[in-house]
Every structure is written in structure tokens, then in C-alpha cells.
Structure 1
Amino acid sequence: MSEAAPITRQYAAQALSSAIEEAAGLLEVRYEREDVLRILDLYGGDLPEALIAFRVSTGASRAGELDCRFTVPQDSDPYRLALENGLLETTDHPVSRLLSEVHDTCPVDGYGIDFGVVGGFKKIWVVLPRTALQDVAKLAELPSMPPALGRSLDFFDRHGLGDTVGLLGIDYRNRTVNIYFGEPPAGGIAPESVRAMLREVDQAEPSEQMLRLGRAAFGVYVTLDWDSPAITRICFAVATTDPASLPVELDERIGLFVQHVQRADPHTRFVYAVASQPDGEYYKLQSYYRWGAGVPEIMQLPEGALADPV
């Protein structure tokens, strides 16, 4: 195709499918082309211009998966599409009502979807306008929001995580919600604060690697579910153009993926994150197949965060 020729939706879907297949082969992840193309065709109305990212994670339960996420048309109803096309099953669980409650209560800048090459459709992302970040207390009042959010308001305040939200992730498979704070502490999270936060919500003692990432973090998010009265995970995210420059040792699987991505695009951006668990921690690396001007807004990146590696 010439540079002047517009990229068609079909071409974009085939190209992305091929990129997913190549990455899956590298990571020894089972790849079903028809399953992937079905999701790309269903949600890919804006795929030629969409922001697209891949994610790999550490840990035995996550090693056999490769996730892909991309933005979808703003006028779509991503949850209804998933139900009508058999990607999700109808349920009376509160997770089924949360997206519509957020939409009816808050201004929404856009949506994204997340699927696993093996696990299929997983999440819907709700992007809130950077100029209209939502009060976390307001979101806690939504009838279908996990009660742990309201019970954690004092926790957020005491640890300086901020009182506004810029992004939500609703995981329909695991029935969890990710809350991304819109204004995390400037200069990252001090080690003593990381330890105090994790201890308070019964997470494992952080490793030195986690403490170093907390100090460099541009963003913090928490994971909630409907079965626990407290936060179930806390995650610290670092933005970088070169994961090898981070003050941590990269997991072998993540290092392999970084090399693969950098061979294809030496200038790609990454987000490297560490997530707490009661029995330890695990790491996630997100790379951008297609970056765009909207990424810093979606990620709530401070200006200049990617000017230099952290």
C-alpha cells in the first residue's frame, strides 16, 4: 500500500492479527486466529486509528497468556456487543450493571477493550476526561460499585493517593474493578508509604524491586472485587522508553518480549508495573503497537514523563 492510501479496517485487523500471532509464537502462547479476528472484526470500527497495546505478565497463572487492548468507537456499547455475540454470558452480578451506571453518571471520553489470546474477551476500559476527573467518593456511591471502594476512602486520603479517578477497568471474567487515580503523588511513592499501604490491606511485604518502582511510579491503581471488604491489589506503574534502564531486574519472559518489540520498533514506549498480592507480587509490561496523541491523556501521564527513560 502507498503511504497516501488510507488503511482499511480489514487491512488493520489482518496486520494486528499477524502481529499478535508473531508475539504469541515468541512467548509460546496458543494462538487461535479465528477467535482473535472475531474480536477485531466486532470491535475494530476505529482500528486503523485506534491506540493499541500488548501486555505480558509474570507468574505461573499468567505465563501462558498474551493480552491485547485497544480503543473502540465512543458511540459503541462494548458490553452489549460482548453479550450479543457470545463473548460474555448474561448475569445478575453487579459487574453487569457497573458500566451503564458510570456512563449515566459521569462524562466519558472513550472506551477500550481487553482480550487474551487464550482467555478471550476480558475487560472494558472507561476513559474519563482529563479535564473532568471524577471524585472517587462519587464513584463509590454507584449502586453496583464494589463496597470496598467506599470503605477505602480514608485509606486513599491517608496515603496521599488523590481523590480523583481518570480511568476504570471492569474485568468481567474475574469480576474485579481497577480504579486508576487521576492525580497520584508527585515524585512517586516513598518506600515507607508502600510498606504501610500493603501492610494495611494484608498484602505481602514488598521486595526491594517493588520499592524502587514505587519511588519512580507515575501512576497508582487499586483492584477491588465484590467479595472482599478491602482492596485486593495495589499496582505501581512506571513509564519508560527503555525497560532495561529501570532499576530492576526484568523477568526472563518480559525481557524476551522487550527485545522482540524493540527489534520491530526501537522507539516504542512501555509501561512497566508491579502489582501486590497477599502471597507476593507479579510484574506486567505493556508495549504500544500503535501510540497516539491520546495516550498520555488516557494514562494520565504528567507532561514530559516519557521525554527520558526513568
Structure 2
Amino acid sequence: MPGTSEAAELCSTIEESARLLNVSYSRDRVWSLLSAYGDAFAHPGAVVAFRVATAMRHVRELDCRFTTHPDDRDPYARALSHGLTPETDHPVGSLLAEIQGRCPVESHGIDFGVVGGFKKIYAFFTPDDLQKTSKLAEIPAMPRSLAGHVGFFARHGLDDRVGVFGIDYPSRTVNVYFNDVPAGSFDPETIRSTLREIGMAAPSERMLRLGEKAFGLYVTLGWESSRIERICYAAATTDLTTLPVSVEPEIEKFVRSVPHGGEDRKFVYGVALTFQGEYYKLESHYRWKPGAMDFI
């Protein structure tokens, strides 16, 4: 199969990184996922990234995400056929197909945990044809919580800025990623008022310093709740020392332990705010190219 050698190389890289991070590793589990999408890694435009987070539920986990082969128009069917995720009659199982039937999806991505296994599929829209939350909200399988916040997104200049849509199958939630976010969205006072509007606690000063450097944001919504469950602000850099905040010890260990390809290293550092508090996460690109969409 095309890409088998590249997938095997990535599998070995993940194994070594997991060892250095004290993350439980099963080659069979990781290889079953990488081999299912093996043709993706032979493509010259493939993007691969690793991520860790400081929240308790992310402890001792290493996430990997990658873009699929451009010709793979149904990555969910592939996940089902390889036993990566169970079939379900929940709306989460039909959402990707309904999005594809209504929106110009340019490409896809996959997210999995070395411990937790298959997690998400991303749908990337064309950069010159960003989608509207009001249009996405009309999709039958979409969580109704999205429709309930269309006015909120419009007030913040985000309604027509959706660049990526993520579907988390085990958690049965969705992520809505916004591109070309108005610069004012990252002002400290705007962040404070935004969080008040959706009922979250006041942000820390650390979060506000990072938020001022953000390039994008996303929200998490689900079928079981009418509220925005999480909002994340993310900043990109090739040098972590240029960030206005210091990184946590566990993230420093991640940076030392996870390899990267090419001469330049790229990071996406994000702060996620939930009703339980805020936490931080760092994504390090293993393979990337200029102009490629960030996973955040």
C-alpha cells in the first residue's frame, strides 16, 4: 500500500515519543489506525502534528492528528470498516455525510490518542469559501446548540468565518473553528465580555496575555447541552520563548520528547476555557507546509 513505509516510520516515532513521555503505548492499537489511512502519509502535502494538554483528562495521553489523502472523500466509512469506531444511530454518525452534502469540503483530518484511540474527523473548508454558522445550523444531524448560538456568533463577527469543523465521535461533541477572526475579538475586555455572555468564569491574567497573541478560536458544542461547553484561543509561533507566558513543565517535557521535521519548528499554543476552569495545550507540527490549516 502506498505510504506504508511512511506510516511505519510515524508509528516508530510515536512509540519513542510515548516512551519519553511515560504514555502507555500499544503498537497494535496505533498501527491499526495509521495503516487504515496509510496512503495519506505518502502524499507530499500531508500534515502531521502531536499535541498534549494540561487538563486532568488529558494526563498521560499523547494525541496525534494528520490530514488524510486528498482523494479520501469518506474517512468516516474507512474508520468504520477498520473497526476504529463503532457504528451508531446517534446523529454524530451521519453528521459528516450531511456536511459534505451541503458544504464545499476541501479535505479531511484525523485525530487520535495513543491511549484513547480514534477520536475526531476534521472537515476543512476552502479558505476562500468559509462557511456560515447559520448554514451549518440547518443541517438535520447538527447539535441544536449551534442554532441556539447563531446570534452570538453574528454579534462577534464570526458567523461567516467557519474554516474547519471537527466531529468528536467518542465524546459526541463538535468543534467549530473560526478563521480570519476580527482582531478585536482578542482584546482583553472583549474576551472578558465574551466569556460573561456564555456564562463562564472570568479568565486569568495569564489567559488574557496569551489571548492577545491569538490568531484563531474555536468552540465546542454537544447534543446533550444547549450551552457552549468550551471556547479555545490559540496562538502560533516557531519559538515558544516569544510567547507572553511561560509554558508548563509537562509541556516543556513534550517539546523535548517529540521530534519535528524540517529546519523550522511550528507550535500552536492554546488555552481552553470550560465551566470547570481553564487549561493549556500545545501542538507541535511533525510535518507541515506553509499555508496548511492549523488544527489548533
Cα offset, 1:257, TM superposition: 1.3
Cα offset, 1:233, TM superposition: 0.6
Counterpart amino acid of residue 227 in structure 1:
E
**2:228 maps to 1:234:** no
Question: Please, which runs of 5 or more residues in structure 2 have no aligned partner?
Answer: none
Is the CA contact 2:150–2:159 (under 8 Å) kept in the aligned structure 1?
no
- How many Å separate the matches in 2 of 1:266 and 1:30? 29
1:65 to 45, 61, 64: 61
Counterpart amino acid of residue 22 in structure 1:
E
Residue matched to 1:38: 32
Please give the TM-score of this superposition, normalised by the length of structure 2.
0.93
1:131 to 128, 132, 136: 128
Map 1:172-251 onto structure 2 (within 5 A): 172-186=169-183, 189-251=186-248
Residues 214-260 of structure 1 deviation map (CA, whole Å, 9 limit, x = unaligned)? 11110011100001112111100100001222111211111111233
Counterpart amino acid of residue 51 in structure 1:
V
Cα offset, 1:188, TM superposition: 5.3
- How many Å separate the matches in 2 of 1:293 and 1:215? 23
Residue matched to 1:99: 96
Which segment is superposed worse, 66-75 or 117-126? 66-75
**2:291 maps to 1:299:** no
- How many Å separate the matches in 2 of 1:27 and 1:209? 26
**2:5 maps to 1:11:** yes
Counterpart amino acid of residue 114 in structure 2:
V
The DSSP-based 3-state class of the residue aligned with 2:100 is: helix
**What is the identity percentage for the equivalent residue pairs of Structure 1 and Structure 2?**
51
Is the CA contact 1:56–1:285 (under 8 Å) kept in the aligned structure 2?
yes
Q: How many residue pairs end up in the alignment?
A: 293
Residue matched to 2:23: 29
Is the CA contact 1:166–1:300 (under 8 Å) kept in the aligned structure 2?
no
List structure 1 segments (4+ residues) > 4 angstroms apart after TM superposition: 261-266
Change (3 A) 1:75 1:227: same
Is the CA contact 2:130–2:160 (under 8 Å) kept in the aligned structure 1?
no
Counterpart amino acid of residue 57 in structure 2:
S
Is the CA contact 1:66–1:116 (under 8 Å) kept in the aligned structure 2?
yes
Counterpart amino acid of residue 55 in structure 1:
R
Please give the TM-score of this superposition, normalised by the length of structure 1.
0.89
Counterpart amino acid of residue 61 in structure 1:
R
- How many Å separate the matches in 1 of 2:260 and 2:29? 27
Counterpart amino acid of residue 66 in structure 2:
F
- How many Å separate the matches in 1 of 2:180 and 2:225? 25
1:79 to 45, 52, 76: 76
Change (3 A) 1:264 1:139: closer
**2:137 maps to 1:143:** no
Is the CA contact 2:161–2:181 (under 8 Å) kept in the aligned structure 1?
no
